Amino acid sequence: MKVPFLLPLMGIWWSVSSAVAQVHSDQQYKHKATPADSIQDLSHFFAKGHFHGHARSYWMGTDNASGLSNFYAWGVGAGIGYETPRILNRFQVGLSGFFMFNLMSSDLSKPDAKTGQINRYEVGLFDIRRPNDHEDLDRLEELYLRYHFGKKSKVTVGRQVPKTPFINPQDGRMRPTLTEAAVVELNEWKNTKIQLEYVFRISPRSTVEWFRVGESMGIYPVGVGLDGKPSTYANNVESKGVLIGGITQTIGPVTVQAWDTYVENVFNTAFVQVDWKSKFKNKHAWVAGFQAVRQQSVGNGGNHDVTKAYMAPDSRSAVFSGRVGYRSPKYDVNINATRITAEGRYLMPREWGREPFYTFMPRERNEGMGDVNAFSVNAFYKPRTQLKWEVSWGYYKLSDVKNVFLNKYGMPAYTQLNAGMSYQFKGFFEGLDAQLLVVRKDNIGATYENDRYVFNKVNMSHFNFILNYHY
């Protein structure tokens, strides 16, 4: 694959120097705008707020099986945000925005000549709806009003970063998923947290637009329906929004979470997670966890016409996941397993977030599947506080690619190996971090000599090099 491996390094200087210059400029402005002898004027009030910024350089490449198309892309971007100090000790306003550019890439809109399929990974760095847009892509990401009450409780209304098991930032591209919502966080009781929210708009990762809940389902590839034909629920799902309730309770070494995600007229998903950690002995500890998911359709599954519904009426699925691990100052090890029963497909819009299961590994999911047996091992080595190495291996036994009832995306059973490194810089480069992720996936299930079950799915290598600067 002919890709410019050295070119991402040129983005280090551009991204970091731009961010540092912006910080220096902000500090000079705040110094001039906050006179020491005036502490009651408006400029002093805003100077007490919190500015934050983020610059990002992301290079990604995919080397598919012989005879299939390969891809690469390099994106850079930067953003800035601000949160006011508390007004009347109760209210805060926050806002942030981010812009990004496609500096260079292969043709992300050109289908593979052999399969007719399009790019899967690199297009997600930018706007999946406009794959060849190399110009300025920007998004007003946060714009919220927050009200503090009680001891540590708060209500946040507006555009914000989601923090739930199934709707979350899934920050594996240039920018994360965001929501427009009303969120109540109750922290009035020791060791107990309660979260209630209503989500009415979503801006998925890999887009720069905001969509109503029903519109957001189907922006990513939709797979096939239960009849084996391409799904047609995109732009056809009818829903008034998402209601979410969650409670987290810590009792000694045990933490219990219970969540319910209700998508009006589409489906309901109940989720329970129990995590245990032994007492530290010389900073060493054992950990264990268990998760259970029960999902069923609601109303007409999104549309009265079953061919246009997201989920067929009377659909159900169940998921169970477990973990055993060991923690120490230098290394962590996890052994994980997940079972999705054969009752039906586990479904969750990929536009909304990554799945929370213990066997999840970056760059692949088991959403859209049923009758899954998954096993994985994660090992993390931390020779220094700034440096962490990771090796993860997973075995994912899926239903046959032709079993459309239990395999929405035609994904063959596979093994996956992830190798990664992250480094936090100190001193002059405080705030800068580098991440490297290499992924290898190979099929263990039949592909019937059909490259449509191979392209961008298995028998491929995938590379990521990311630089972030936060200030």
Model confidence band, residue 136 (pLDDT cutoffs 50, 70, 90): confident
Residue 5 lies in a domain: no
Q: What's the pLDDT at 40?
A: 65
Mean pLDDT lowest among 41-50, 173-182, 199-208, 313-322: 41-50
Q: Would you say residue 461 has pLDDT above 80?
A: yes
Residue 32 lies in a domain: no
Q: Would you say residue 5 has pLDDT above 70?
A: no
Q: What's the pLDDT at 427?
A: 94
What does the pLDDT average to over 162-176?
94
Residue 39 lies in a domain: no
Model confidence band, residue 300 (pLDDT cutoffs 50, 70, 90): very high
Model confidence band, residue 172 (pLDDT cutoffs 50, 70, 90): confident
Q: What's the pLDDT at 43?
A: 82
Q: What phi and psi values does residue 20 have, to the nearest 5 degrees?
A: -60, -40
Model confidence band, residue 171 (pLDDT cutoffs 50, 70, 90): confident
Tokens 């290394």 locate to 331
Q: Would you say residue 361 has pLDDT above 60?
A: yes
Residue 30 lies in a domain: no
Q: What's the pLDDT at 77?
A: 95
Residue 353 lies in a domain: yes
What does the pLDDT average to over 118-140?
90
Share of the chain above pLDDT 90, in %: 87
Question: Based on the structure, what is the number of domains in the chain?
Answer: 1
The size of the chain, in residues, is: 471
Model confidence band, residue 132 (pLDDT cutoffs 50, 70, 90): confident
Are the C-beta atoms of 56 and 11 separated by less than 8 Å? no
pLDDT tens per residue, range 39-98: 467 888 888 999 999 999 999 999 999 999 999 999 999 999 999 999 999 999 999 999
Residue 85 lies in a domain: yes
What does the pLDDT average to over 445-460?
97
What does the pLDDT average to over 263-282?
96
What does the pLDDT average to over 104-110?
95
Residue 4 lies in a domain: no
User: What is the span of the domain harbouring residue 301?
Assistant: 46-470
Q: Report DSSP letters for 68-108, one per residue.
A: S--EEEEEEEEEEEEEPPPBTTTEEEEEEEEEEEEEEES-T
Q: Would you say residue 227 has pLDDT above 80?
A: yes
Q: Residue 301 sits in a domain of what CATH number?
A: 2.40.160.10
The residues, ordered by sequence, that sit 6+ positions from 30 with a Cβ below 8 Å of its Cβ are 47
Residue 41 lies in a domain: no
DSSP state of 281: B
Q: Would you say residue 26 has pLDDT above 60?
A: no
Q: Which of 420, 419, 410 is nearest to 457 (CA)?
A: 410
